[in-house]
Amino acid sequence: MDLLPEETPELAKKHGFRSLKLLNVDLEQPLEDKPFGVDYGKLDNGLTYYVRSNSKPKMRAALALVVKAGSVLEEEDERGVAHIVEHLAFNATTKYTNHDIVKFMESIGAEFGACQNAMTSADDTVYELFVPVDKPELLPQAISVLAEFSSEIRVSAEDLEKERGAVMEEYRGSRNANGRMQDSHWALMMAGSKYAERLPIGTEKVIRTVSAATVKHFYKKWYHLQHMALIAVGDFPNSESVVELIRTYFGQKSSADEPPGILRFPVPSHDEPRFSCFIESEAAGSAVMISCKVPAQELKTIKDYRDLLVESMFLLALNQRLFKVSRRRDPPFHSCSAASDNLVNPIKAYILTSSCKENGIIEALEAMLTELARIHLHGFSEREISIVRALLLSGIESAYLERDQIQSTSLRDEYVQHFLCNEPVVGIEFEAQLHKSLLPSISAAEVATYARKFSTTCNCVIKAIEPQSTVTLDDLKNTVAKVTSLEEGESISAWDEEQVPEEIVTIKPNSGSVDQQQEYADINVTELILSNGMRVCYKCTDFLDDQVLISGYSYGGLSELSEPDYVSCSMGSTIAGELGKFGHKPSVLMDMLAGKRAEVGTKLGPYMRTFSADCSPTDLETALQLVYQLFMTNVEPREEEVKKVMEMAEEAVRAQERDPYTAFENRVREINYGNSYFFRPIRISDLKKVDAYKACEYFSNCFKDPSTFTVVVVGNLDLATACPLILQYLGGIPKPPVPILQFSRDDLNGLPFTFPDNIIRREGKQDREIVRKPMVEAQCSVQLCFPVELKNGAMIEEIHFVGFLSKLLETKMIQVLRFKHGQIYSAGVSVFLGGNKPSRTGDVRGDISINFSCDPSMSSTLVELALDEVLHLQNEGPSDEDISTILEIEQRAHENGLQENYHWLERIIRSYQSRVYSGDLGTSFQIQEEARLKVRTSLTPSTSKSALQRILPFPCRKKYTVVVRIQADGSSTPEAQEIDPVHTVLSL
């Protein structure tokens, strides 16, 4: 009998994860079929619905229409039709025509691609919308759109012709090295099953020639409400009203015919392993993969859930080992990881993938198999299991603490999997109790048994991927036989564990003090100047209960280096990271951080060096200790470790030299920025000149003087705990007796480049730059680039104008090149404004680039169309509708950002780094926001036209560059495969 009253939910949350009571577990107890926490049911016509009220983010809803129909249902003459239907949905329905759905969604701030999208896989098709719901008419309109998708997609010959180009460009985009490897591997894994020949992208012949009648037949045959679910998760006053909306828009619909049953297509077993050696000339490097297929086990009981935890522990423990192997003095591979993946319904695979040096396939495969055999023979140590148990408990604790702050999109995804795969949704509270109750009873011996899932006999595929052939099938088979023999003879020794220190910081520093303190009440921010000169600014939020973000920067980076020192010092972060920039080797630090959520990274940029951290409030001390160690560590290069790092760097450079996309990007930089050493790609000859001692010395000095750093902390801070830790570990960093790398931001060097004065275009009679690279299949990428120079004066407003105009250009490029002419899949606009030093008085230089891929034969035409559209916007200005759309997209993104720690962290840092900052953060922050609002208020077709004339060259044809990457003639198609055979998905 309990003597204390039962704990209320509010009290449980206050006490947190550690207050959760353990369950008296019955392993045979079934898990609930009905999903937890959601209004769940079916309409009379068979449509399943899931509705849940969720306030993260505020005034937003995540919607999905899920259809149990994918590419595996296609006949031979329909290959790719499931994906074409998905495209046509956004083109036209009975109610909406001429991409009116896309226009409507963008008009309410739901950007195409980011907030309205769809995915086709072998087994299903999912349409997703992410919409604002702060006006009463928006949610009904969004649900009506999905209702149209369910039964009213218009499939006419005209519609199909308009969309073929976009689908064909997506097909072309999938025919790169990764796509070819994915297709080939999929076929090998699924050999003997219909899945092997039903990749969602389909075939070029079908995409180019399929009739509207065939597409319509597939749509009408398989799109039945009995095979669909409507999911709505968002900031609703109640779920009942949303269910009524679903009844209103879906309830009167009915499928024309009795729906066919959902077909199942078995994947045959094979008793002997399959071996393959794939040669892919454009592959990033050499790799080897072991894939083992098994039937997917449904989660029906608590025992099934426990088995899933055992599997998670095994994969975590194995990955920890593999990481340590990759960090040996002479490692057999650069990286190696294990995972499980649900391939198709109902088959999953256990996958072990490594990347290795050239000619290193056999060594890597032998090492992978040896580690599996070592586990077969000796299992895992108690220490290894205690580490992975702590990792799992840490993860579930974070999820539990933030259970009321989970994103609506995440909940939507859970319900998608419940509908498609019967994955139970039991609620995070129950999952947390299961973790706490089950994990302690899982033994090391039980975890080790999962190594048998990687069987090298039945249903196993072992595959080597290389840019050029060095191994044979017999080499792979002989390696398997060799390790099998060693295991049978018990000739493989037990795992040799490293010594792990107890503490990250062995001698705790004396705390610093606060010399100055300033409160900025308008933005709820406090600024401290510590006794060692470091400026620390913190903001307490309640967006996520288990998140604290830290970011620190100091002026003076790679731009201050001379050309001879640049290559060596730019490698400093890479070399120091492998040697141990926090005072401990990465493999040792990994064990020390087990069960703690604290990650710290560093970056050496052109004008600044920075560090950043993401941690939980309970692990704030650990994160600050790592920052302290970063400042206190002098990284000493050791010959063997440096040799390993440089070998990996050389492999990366060779991979880039093989990659035609990298060749294109390098040529773009060369054209736009000249032969500047800062933008020039690193070559093997450059790596040979790297001085590791100079690199490590430079990196250590970058994080040595605390007085040069500004640090911003945002998140769920308990100040009574956090402030003493900040004073101890940030304030305790000693200030060096002599200043180190102290720079004035106004005196920094700008990046050494000059945008070309003339128009760069060389092709026949025209001037167009063509980058020709031998490629396996036709590919074409285009970058159209305009120089930008913003004059000092109303600079803050001008930068906001650039942001709005770049979104305008991107929206118009998609409208014209995709929706009007149907020739591209997507377009992007990127902005670079880092050409000048971050002076508070100088001009700002950079560029705006328009990027898209297309049919090689259409590149000239599409460049002209893009230039015509930019010139039209400069001469005539955008429409009122265009302005309304980009204002809405920006406002919705801003509203979402206000609920995120990362957004506030960025805004505070940007206010410090703003040219108007002169010691008063609040004033700088206010000027930034006023500039944004001023530009929003003033943005009209007329002011946009003036800004386009002012910011871009006017007329735009006066000065620009065009670089086209195109397939060289005469290439051939080698055999290829996918390195990571995840569930094949295509996105709209």
Gap between the Cα atoms of 258 and 262, Å rounded: 12
| Burial status of residue 11 (CB atoms within 10 A of its CB: 0-12, 13-18, 19 or more) | exposed
Beta-carbon count within 10 A of 962 CB: 26
Contact partners, residue 260, CB within 8 Å, separation at least 6: 221, 222
346 preceded by cis ω (within 30°)?
yes
The four Cα atoms 815, 821, 827, 830 give a dihedral, to 10 degrees, of: -70
Residue 86 annotated to the active site: yes
Largest CA distance in the chain: 92
Q: b vs e for 430-460, b when ≥16 Cβ sit within 10 Å of the residue's Cβ?
A: bbbbbbbbbbeebebebbbebbebbbbeebb
Tell me, what amino acid is at 29?
Answer: Q
Q: ∠ CA(789), CA(792), CA(794), 5° rounding?
A: 105
Two structure tokens written together for 552: 């620190």
328: three-class secondary structure by DSSP: coil
Amino acid 168 reads M
The b-or-e profile of 103-118 (16+ CB within 10 A means b, else e) is ebbbebbbbbeebbbb
Cα separation, 856 vs 853, whole angstroms: 9
How many C-beta atoms lie closer than 10 Å to residue 474's C-beta? 10
Q: Which of 74, 78, 86, 111 is catalytic?
A: 86
Residue with tokens 């599997």: 311
Cβ contacts of 501 within 8 Å, gap of 6 or more: 584, 588, 592
The sign of the torsion formed by the CA atoms of 916, 917, 919, 921 equals positive
Neighbours of 148 (CB within 10 A): 21
Separation CA 291–CA 351 (nearest Å)? 5
Can you tell me the distance from the alpha carbon of 552 to that of 332, in angstroms, rounded to the nearest whole number? 36
User: Running DSSP on this structure, what letter comes out for residue 417?
Assistant: H
* Cβ count within 10 A of residue 858: 18
Residue 80 contacts residue 210 (beta carbons within 8 Å)? yes
Q: Locate 534 and state its tokens.
A: 């470091």
C-alpha to C-alpha distance for 894 and 883, rounded to whole angstroms: 16
**Which residues fall within 8 angstroms of residue 669, CB to CB, at 6 or more apart?**
679, 680, 681
By C-alpha distance, which of 104, 93, 115 is closest to 140?
A: 104
Task: Give residues with Cβ within 8 angstroms of 596, minimum separation 6.
Answer: 394, 615, 619, 622
At 487, which helix (H) or strand (E)? helix 473-488
- Clarify whether 929 is annotated catalytic: no
Which whole-number Å values give the CA distances from 36 to 389, 438, 564, 600, 774, in the listed order?
26, 20, 62, 36, 54
| 3-class secondary structure per residue, 559-614 | HHCCHHHHHHHHCHHHHHHHHCCCCCCHHHHHHHCCCCCEEEEEEECCCEEEEEEE
43 contacts: CB under 8 Å, gap ≥ 6: 49, 225, 246, 247, 250, 251
Taking the mean position of all CA atoms in its chain, how far away is CA 493?
Answer: 39
Gap between the Cα atoms of 145 and 792, Å rounded: 47
Of 78, 106, 148, 163, which residue is the catalytic one?
Answer: 163
Cα angle 539-540-544, degrees, rounded to a multiple of 5:
120
Q: Residues with catalytic annotation?
A: 86, 163
